[in-house]
Amino acid sequence: MFRSAAAISGHLVGPLWGKKVGASLTRCLHQTLTMAKRLQAHRLDGIDHNPWVEFTRLASQYNAVNLGQGFPDFSPPDFALEAFQQAISGDIMLNQYTMAFGYPPLTRILADFFGKLLGQELDPLKNVLVTVGAYGALFTAFQALVDEGDEVIIIEPFFDCYEPMTLMAGGRPVFVSLKPSHTPEGGLKLSSDWQLDPTELASKFTSRTKALVLNTPNNPLGKVFSKSELELVASLCQQHDVLCISDEVYQWLVYDEHQHISIASLPGMWERTLTIGSAGKTFSATGWKVGWVLGPDHIMKHLRTVHQNSVYHCPTQAQAAVAKSFEQELRHLGQPSSYFVQLPQAMQRNRDHMIRSLRSVGLDPIIPQGSYFLITDILQIKNKMPDLPGAADEPYDRRFVKWMIKNKGLVAIPVSIFYSGPHQMDFDHYIRFCFVKNEGTLRAMDEKLQNWKAELKP
């Protein structure tokens, strides 16, 4: 099922890295516009630095094993590839515009599929919006709902775009951290041990709170919020009349008998929740950039206004391929032949492989119950590490990752980038690895770790 694909990472980092560029292009790159007026909009203040750029560049420069970015380096399932091929070679009208809010067969199947899961009768025209990836869904939601001065509660660690998206909409992010509970000596560390303090969470709600962003399964931690945790969030949202933006792009990727629960399915939550999904994560095709948002019409109509006046609609052929892929899944749902059964089984094997590999060198991964990421504590090996270059105020995990890429040929992502500025130093001793990788990549990781082992072992 998981056919290995050629190295994808080269496509992800700009083709310019490491190559000579033509004279005219160089001139172009060096010409800067000087304006008497302020050039960039104020809404970009404070969000113009993106830490991903540096780690992506280093990964390609050192030709390291890339366990950083969250994309599969294996092929999507055959049925999805065939659906895409059919979409580009079949009906010529799929080359043209479609309905602004989604290609009708896709909105219909999303309504049918997710209606069953959410326990709601969904109207494809009113309750579904197809977007350019889950990113597009998030951006549309923030633009449609968050106003100047509105507060948005974001649970840390968080998928890093939530903060700039809140700021760009004029909102004020308010952060609350999941905190690890104490693990007895020698006990397993689990992502479920990271919890919200109910009193602290409640204290973040004010009369200005407009929305809370939930991400389950969580990136980067892999935590799957339990029913009781979701009930706590739900009751606070209802008590304070707050919307919930629920990012559920990893909903199929849950392990060890854990269950993903959509907060919109809890009593009283459908009316105030937007549920966001991604075909990229669902069908291992992140480049297709098809996402969706589901919700009640009284909220969705505002998202439609943003969507209609920004991207208008997403590529028709990609939508057609996703529609066909869902049709296929609907026929297999819950059976061993379902991709939504096979993918998590395969990823659980990858997760366990990675855990064994990291443990064999003395690292201490926190076992995720969902997503395709795990984070590992690097404190245990800090005393075996050389002095790392970098500014004193640069979080340790960032210096560690840069050193690891250059010296050990392994790419991970420092977890502090998933925290707000004031909390980064408190969580600067974890790094995130991505395990949605093919066997060859995992074996290459094993090799790198084994070479490192001699230095790390006590």
Considering only 133-141, 263-271, 322-330, 410-418, which stretch makes contact with ligand PLP by CB under 6 A? 133-141
Interacting span for ligand PLP (CB under 6 A) from 30-38, 86-94, 130-138, 306-314:
130-138
Are the C-beta atoms of residues 113 and 119 closer than 8 Å to each other? Answer: no
Binding of ligand PLP by 321 (CB under 6 A) = no
Choice between 74 and 452, CB closer to ligand PLP: 74
* Least distance in angstroms from the C-beta of 284 to ligand PLP: 11
Minimum distance, C-beta of residue 306 to ligand PLP, in the bound complex (Å): 16
Minimum separation from the CB atom of position 342 to ligand PLP (A): 20
Shortest distance, position 286 Cβ to ligand PLP, whole Å: 5
At a CB cut-off of 8 Å and minimum separation 6, what does 130 contact?
A: 101, 102, 103, 106, 107, 110, 290, 291, 292, 313, 314, 319
What dihedral do alpha carbons 115, 117, 119, 125 form, nearest 10°? -20
Residue from the set 159, 252, 400, 435 that interacts with ligand PLP by CB under 6 A: 159
| Nearer to ligand PLP (CB atom), residue 249 or residue 445 | 249
d(CA 226, CA 370): 12
CB of 248 to ligand PLP, least distance (A): 9
Residue 319 CA to residue 107 CA, distance in Å, equals: 9
- The residue among 243 and 449 lying less far from ligand PLP, judged by its C-beta, is 243
- For the record, the structure tokens of 74 come out as 């294996």
**Before 414, cis peptide (omega within 30)?**
no
Q: What is the DSSP string of 121-179?
A: ---TTTSEEEEEHHHHHHHHHHHHH--TT-EEEEEES--TTHHHHHHHTT-EEEEEE-E
Stretch that binds ligand PLP, among 117-125, 132-140, 147-155, 172-180 (CB under 6 A): 132-140
Grouping H, G, I as helix, E, B as strand and the rest as coil, residue 101 is: coil
Do the Cβ atoms of 39 and 33 come closer than 8 Å? yes
Residues 242-281 that bind ligand PLP (CB under 6 A): 247, 249, 278, 280
Considering beta carbons, is residue 372 or 452 the nearer one to ligand PLP? 372
* Stretch 67-126 residues interacting with ligand PLP (CB under 6 A): 70
By CB under 6 A, name the one of 102, 291, 395, 409 that touches ligand PLP.
Answer: 291
Per-residue burial over 33-59, b = 16 or more CB atoms within 10 Å of its CB, e = otherwise: eeeeeeeeeeeeeeeeeeeeeebbebb
Q: Is 20 exposed, middle or buried (0-12, 13-18, 19+ CB in 10 A)?
A: exposed
Q: Left if phi > 0, otherwise alpha if psi is -120 to 50, otherwise beta: which for 375?
A: beta
Residue selected from 133, 164, 344, 368 as contacting ligand PLP according to rule CB under 6 A: 133
Closest residue to ligand PLP: CB criterion = 133
Smallest gap from Cβ 369 to ligand PLP, in A, equals: 15
Nearer to ligand PLP, 370 or 409 (CB): 370
When the beta carbons of 313 and 448 are compared against ligand PLP, the nearer one is: 313
Using CB under 6 A, list all residues that contact ligand PLP.
70, 133-135, 159, 215, 219, 247, 249, 278, 280, 286, 291
